[in-house]
Amino acid sequence: MSGEYFARATVRRVVDVAPDVRLIELVPDAGVAPYPPGSHIDIAVSIGGIPDTRSYSLVGEPDGQAYRIAVKQVPDSRGGSRVVRALSPGQEALISAPKSHFELAHGRPEYLLVAGGIGITPLIGMAQALHRHGRSFRLLYSARTRAQLAFADELRELLGERLELFVDAEGTRIEVAARIAALDPDAELYLCGPQGMRDAVARAWLAAGRRADRLRFETFASGGRFAPQEFVVRAADLDGAEFVVARETTMLDALAEQGVELMWDCRRGECGLCAVSVLACEGELDHRDVFLSESQRAQCRTMLACVSRAVGGAVTIDSGFRSDPERPRSVAMQRS
Amino acid sequence: MQPAADTFTLPDAPLNAWYAAAYDVELGRRLLARRILDHNVVMYRRADGEPVALENACWHRLLPLSEGALEGDNVACGYHGLVFNPEGRCVFMPSQETINPAARVRSYPVVELHRFIWVWPGDPALADPALVPDLHWNSDPAWAGDGKLIHVDCNYKLVIDNLMDLTHETFVHSSSIGQRSITEVPFEVTHGPNSATVTRWMIDVEPPPVWRAQLELKTGVPAGRVDRWQIIHFEPPSTVSIEVGVAPHGSGAPEGDRSAGVNGRVLNTMTPETERSCHYFWAFVRDYALGDQRTTTLFRESVASIFAEDEHVLAAQQRAIDDHPDKQFYNLNIDGGAMWARRLIDRMVARELPDERYVRSAEQSLAAEGERINVEATAADAERLGIKL
């Protein structure tokens, strides 16, 4: 209920499954728990001495032996993926129990799974489950280069022609609108990929007049409209103190390192708890969340510190810090 | 969630804090037993009115002292007649002329303030009366009102969650104070080193029935549209004081002048009984119609019936939590105030913990607060605090 439980686990195997993707198998001391496809675990990490957690989708359906995660090497990572990627066999890690926030619904007449890059991870277990239950589905999987299509061979073996691969470098692209148009009216689409893909699929889905709740997506793999770059945050409520957010970190972490606390929870732009008021902004805001509506994004009066960034220049925020209320001295110790 | 082997979690509440243990009117020249953070406590007033709080188990055969009787300022066990004074020392033993010097029951630091009896379940050396949560409106002559104690079958943090987010009024209290505009207007969550505040202003709205009546009581004229406010203040570990009220729209309330309106304060302080139940002390006070006993009684009773709706929801929520040990809460934007409250509680808890694993867990839940928590303690402390390592 409150707080989060972490259990000790031991790294069993580490293998690179693509030039930039590393598969890590973790065996929890207390045993592997069953989990539905689409689940993830949190791993406790320490970033620059500050304890933190990172979430990773569990790859494949449970096998009762180990949890498998796939970690992408991200040049602009906040450091979390670097710490997790550095794990080697025999090392210990603290992990949460599996959590399921991206669950596969049963009983739909048809399913379309769409993966972009590392976004394939939660969809592998879904494809396995749909295959096992004999459901009608296809998996569309795209990446920049063919080598980056991690797990493609295993998926091909299981899915045959139900797997379709798309490679940017080879000029093959998912024709989103046509794919959606061809689906059963009650079909569901499961999506995990970078923001550009997410936006395009969501727009096409709604444009096709389909129900919003039939489009399910996972938001770990987040990239914005702009390449991340360094920017400055000015906290109006902290005497205008300035903080630099480096290219490879987030506003949330950069502020935390300087002792500026924000509230947060999901860290992937969903819950809205880390929303800060934007008082002024030079340049543009690169909103990378799924919490704000289109019109809220356009107003630029608030932004989510966990994922969103300023592009070119500085942003002035209200971090929400206020002094504690004063306590009246006059009434102290009076007997009522 | 059931912790698996080798997992750990934070204790539920800090021990080094003042917790309301009784309303002033509950305590008298009789023995009152109450469980406070799983400590069974017996309370009474001395002949001079000063409150006393003792461990509710005789040193000899553990019979609850609350089964015994007051003898002057002392309490006599109802089994073999051992007598303990307000400091918990035994002053009489049957059939012997001496008294075993080890014979004592624990005496808790106790303070009476703001109409509550406050007990400190932690280290007595740290029990500073200046740390009693600020609920002074409850005994301030500029305010009038009254309140009650309710027993709720839920963890105390669920009550804090409830109070820190008043969007629930729209759905739980639709017949009295709820209105759609609560969910429609933005709110602001701010925090200090030891406080969290949620501020919500509803500008130019129809007053809900309760507030319409109050405004008309004060002004004597039919109420039009109003500006309504809810400003929720949290003081860890478990006190929530809420400024509420309405003022005629355009009379300057959002700018700071609420004199044309009606000001209330909902005072709340929760004391864990067990991990699944709590004592919920509350009062509603107002700064107008101070001499009007009818308003005091009406308000007390109508707030009590509003809180009964919460009680029902909270107990059902606790049962659902118990039924779903594999599920965690999902947090929404509206939970910001509650999340700050929980962070401040966790920080208090972490400061009293002896084991570095707990500190790490606490830091994870606080993550990134940029402040290291210094803990120097031993396994013996853990045992004293009742923590399983």
Spell out the domain ranges in chain A. Answer: 7-95, 111-218, 231-318
The angle subtended at Cα A330 by Cα A324 and Cα A335, nearest 5°, is: 110
Which fold, A7-95? Elongation Factor Tu (Ef-tu); domain 3 (2.40.30)
Q: Considering only CB atoms, which chain A residues are within 8 Å of B343?
A: 263
Residue B385 has pLDDT above 80, yes or no: no
- Among B284, B311, B334, identify where a domain stops: B334
Same domain, B126 and B166: no
Q: Is residue B354 part of a domain?
A: no
| Proportion of chain A above pLDDT 90, given as a percent | 58
Q: Which amino acid type is present at position B214? A: Q
Closest partner CB to A324 (pick from B7, B49, B192):
B192
Whether B157 and B199 share a structural domain: yes
Q: Which domain holds residue B182?
A: 136-334
pLDDT for the residue A50? 60
Q: How far apart are the first and last CA of chain A?
A: 38
pLDDT of B302 higher than 70: yes
Q: Would residue B66 count as lying in a domain?
A: yes
Give the helix ranges, DSSP H, for A87-213: 120-132, 152-159, 176-181, 195-207
Write out chain B residues lying below 8 Å of A100, CB-based: none
Asked if residue B265 and residue B120 are part of one domain, the reply reads no
Nearest residue of chain B to residue A54 (CA atoms): B364
Each residue's pLDDT tens digit, B143-164: 999 999 999 999 999 999 999 9
Question: Domain holding B47: CATH number?
Answer: 2.102.10.10
| pLDDT score of B370 | 31
Which residues from chain B sit within 8 angstroms of residue A8, using beta carbons?
Answer: 6
Which member of A5, A256, A327 has the closest CB to residue B134?
Answer: A327
Residue of A7, A252, A334 with shortest CB distance to B7:
A7
Smallest Cβ–Cβ distance between B6 and the set A7, A256, A275 belongs to: A7
Decide which of B334, B352, B371 is a domain's last residue.
Answer: B334
Q: What angle do CA B150, B151, B153 make, to 5 degrees?
A: 140
Q: Nearest residue of B to residue A292 by CA position? A: B333
pLDDT at B54: 98
Residue B351 covered by a domain: no
Asked if the domains A111-218 and A231-318 are classified in one and the same CATH topology, the answer is: no
Put simply, the answer to whether B191 touches A320 (Cβ < 8 Å) is yes
Task: Write out chain B residues lying below 8 Å of A273, CB-based.
Answer: 331-333, 335-336, 339
Identify all chain A residues contacting B129, using CB atoms and an 8 Å cutoff.
332-333
Q: Is B37 helix (H, G, I), strand (E, B) or coil?
A: coil
**B118 & B150 share domain:** no
- One domain, residues B176 and B108: no
Chain B: residue whose CA lies nearest to A261: B369
Count of CB pairs separated by less than 8 Å, A with B = 152
Tokens matching residue B53: 């709080």
**Cα–Cα distance between B139 and B121 in angstroms, integer?**
24
B43, pLDDT greater than 90? yes
| Domain A111-218, CATH | 3.40.50.80
CATH architecture type of domain A231-318: Roll (3.10)
DSSP states of B71-137: ETTEEE-TTT--EE-TTSBEEE-TT-SS--TT-B--B--EEEETTEEEE--S-GGG--GGGS---GG
* Interchain pair B192, A321: CB under 8 A: yes
Name the residue facing B364 among A8, A51, A273 (closest C-beta): A51
CA R_g for chain B:
23
The verdict on residue B24 lying in a domain is yes
Indicate whether B148 and B83 sit together in one domain: no
Q: Are residues B251 and B267 in the same domain?
A: yes
Same domain? B121 vs B143: no
Give yes or no: residues B47 and B184 share one domain. Answer: no
Rounded to two decimals, the ipTM of the complex is: 0.75
Residue A146 has pLDDT above 80, yes or no: yes
In tens, the pLDDT along B77-93 reads 999 999 999 999 999 99
- The last residue of one of the domains, among B131, B150, B183, is B131
For residues A1-15, give the mean pLDDT.
78
Is B365 inside any structural domain?
A: no
Is residue B386 situated within a structural domain?
Answer: no
Closest chain A residue to B334 measured between Cα atoms? A273
Rg (CA), chain A: 22
More confident call, A312 vs A43: A43
Q: Give the whole-angstrom CA distance, residue B260 versus residue B179.
A: 22
Q: Is residue B388 part of a domain?
A: no
Q: Which chain A residues are within 8 Å of B130, Cβ to Cβ?
A: 332
Domain check: are B329 and B222 in the same one? yes
**DSSP characters over A32-96:** PPP--TT-EEEEEEEETTEEEEEEEEPPSS--SS-EEEEEE--TT--SHHHHHHT--TT-EEEEP
Q: Are residues B208 and B143 in the same domain?
A: yes
Q: In this model, does residue B375 exceed pLDDT 80? A: no
Q: For chain B, what percent of residues have pLDDT higher than 90?
A: 71
Assess whether B92 and B218 both reside in one domain.
Answer: no
Model confidence at A334: pLDDT above 50: no
Q: Which residue has the higher pLDDT, B356 or A309?
A: A309
Are B331 and A260 within 8 A, CB to CB?
no
**B111 pLDDT exceeds 70?**
yes
